[in-house]
């Protein structure tokens, strides 16, 4: 069997998800036995236009990004949205809360015109995506699962139940019971409730479940006397570009 040729590409992001690959340690060498990494800017200078699997990190925020991702899509047999920025727009999406020319002027003053920008979009909002690896950063065990699916040529389904399911299995005390709001009840699982295990809350980096228990969540908000807009504000930290989905 010939090894699939894998290329990593980064758009607007912190490149931490690519780094998660380098963080595999010596396991990386085992992975390199199964795939041939042909482009990986963060650690390699070799590069090529000939690849089977394109792994996309980052969100689409400029006209140039749009052209580039379309070009990559046209060459790749399989396209993977990798990390929150790529799968849901992520942190970059907070920009969409502001008028673009206003935020441009705030950061770059009179040089703002040198930095033309579009509303932040997730990759699937521009081209077709075959696999989603959610999370900020991606959770390595899940990435390995997705890689196996790609190699086997079968689809990978991102868990579409709440983080709370995993959180309960990890026997964490519910944040709401500690008087803290948490986005676990509306966020897709698959991270093994990484943040809550470490004493923090869920920030919704994996995106919202497609069918959240809306009424149940409303009851929770009422019970703990939490304003809806407070939750929405928290949700907008990673999930603001979801509005562009809804508009379609």
Partner 1 sequence: MSASKNVKVNVEYLTRVEGHGNIVVNVKDGKMEECRLDIVEAPRFFEGMLRGRSIFEAQHITSRICGICACGHSLASILAAEDALGFTPSPQTIKLRKLLLHQEMLDSHILHIYLLVAPDLLGVKSFVPLIDTHNTVVRRALRMKKNCNDVCDILVGRHIHPISSIVGGFTKLPQPKDLDAMLEILKGLQPDMEATIELLGALKFPEFSRPTEYVALINNTDEYPLMEGELGSTDGLKLNKKDYRKVTNEFIVDHSSAKHAKASRESYMVGALARLNLNYNKLHPKAKKAAEFLKIKPGCTNPFMNTVAQAVECVHCLEDSIAILEDFKENGVKQEEAIIVGLNEKGTIPVKAGNGVGAVEVPRGILFHNYEIDNTGKIINANCIIPTSQNCNNIERDMQKLVPEILNKTEEEITLMMEMLVRAYDPCISCSAHFLNVKYVNR
Interface residues toward partner 1, by CB under 8 A: 10, 12-20, 22-26, 28-29, 32, 37, 41-47, 61-62, 90-92, 94-95, 97-98, 103-104, 106-108, 111, 114-117, 136-137, 175, 178-181, 194-195, 197-201, 203, 237
| Residue whose CB is less far from partner 1, 18 or 87 | 18
Neighbours of 114 (CB within 10 A): 8
How many Å apart are CA 52 and CA 163, to the nearest integer? Answer: 32
How many Å apart are CA 63 and CA 60, to the nearest integer? Answer: 8
| Residue whose CB is less far from partner 1, 91 or 158 | 91
Minimum distance from CB of 123 to partner 1 (Å)?
Answer: 16
| Residue whose CB is less far from partner 1, 62 or 217 | 62
7: part of which helix (H) or strand (E)?
strand 5-10
Minimum distance from CB of 107 to partner 1 (Å)?
Answer: 5
CA distances from 77 to 40, 80, 131 (A): 18, 10, 12
| Residue whose CB is less far from partner 1, 114 or 210 | 114
| Residue whose CB is less far from partner 1, 90 or 190 | 90
Minimum distance from CB of 213 to partner 1 (Å)?
Answer: 22
How many Å apart are CA 151 and CA 137, to the nearest integer? Answer: 22
Minimum distance from CB of 154 to partner 1 (Å)?
Answer: 28
How many Å apart are CA 248 and CA 236, to the nearest integer? Answer: 19
| Residue whose CB is less far from partner 1, 77 or 111 | 111
Minimum distance from CB of 187 to partner 1 (Å)?
Answer: 15
Alpha helices, DSSP H, located in 93-209: 100-108, 140-152, 163-169, 194-197
- Rg over alpha carbons for the chain, rounded to the nearest Å, is 19
Minimum distance from CB of 162 to partner 1 (Å)?
Answer: 19
CA count, 13 A, side-chain hemisphere, 223: 11
Neighbours of 15 (CB within 10 A): 16
CA distances from 207 to 129, 235, 238 (A): 15, 9, 8
Minimum distance from CB of 114 to partner 1 (Å)?
Answer: 5
| Residue whose CB is less far from partner 1, 96 or 130 | 96
Question: What is the CA 234 to chain-centroid distance, rounded?
Answer: 16
């Amino acid at each position: 069997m010939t090894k699939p040729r894998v290329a990593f590409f980064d758009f607007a992001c912190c490149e931490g998800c690519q780094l998660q690959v380098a963080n595999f340690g010596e396991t990386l060498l085992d992975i390199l036995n199964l795939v041939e990494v042909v482009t990986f800017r963060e650690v390699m200078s070799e590069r090529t236009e000939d690849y089977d699997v394109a792994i996309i990190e980052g969100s689409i925020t400029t006209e140039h990004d749009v052209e580039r991702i379309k070009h990559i899509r046209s060459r790749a047999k399989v396209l993977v949205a990798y990390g929150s920025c790529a799968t849901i727009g992520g942190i970059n999406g907070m920009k969409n809360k502001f008028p673009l020319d206003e935020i441009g002027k705030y950061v770059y003053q009179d040089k703002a015109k040198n930095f033309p920008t579009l509303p932040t979009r997730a990759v699937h909002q521009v081209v077709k995506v075959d696999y989603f690896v959610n999370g900020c950063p991606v959770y390595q065990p899940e990435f390995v699962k997705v890689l196996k699916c790609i190699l086997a040529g079968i689809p990978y389904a991102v868990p579409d139940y709440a983080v709370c399911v995993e959180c309960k299995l990890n026997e964490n005390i519910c944040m709401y019971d500690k008087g803290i709001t948490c986005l676990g009840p509306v966020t897709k699982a698959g991270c093994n409730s990484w943040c809550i295990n470490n004493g923090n809350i869920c920030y919704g980096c994996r995106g919202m479940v497609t069918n959240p228990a809306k009424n149940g969540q409303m009851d929770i908000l009422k019970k703990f006397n939490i304003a809806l807009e407070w939750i929405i504000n928290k949700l907008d930290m990673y999930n603001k570009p979801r509005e562009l989905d809804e508009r379609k």
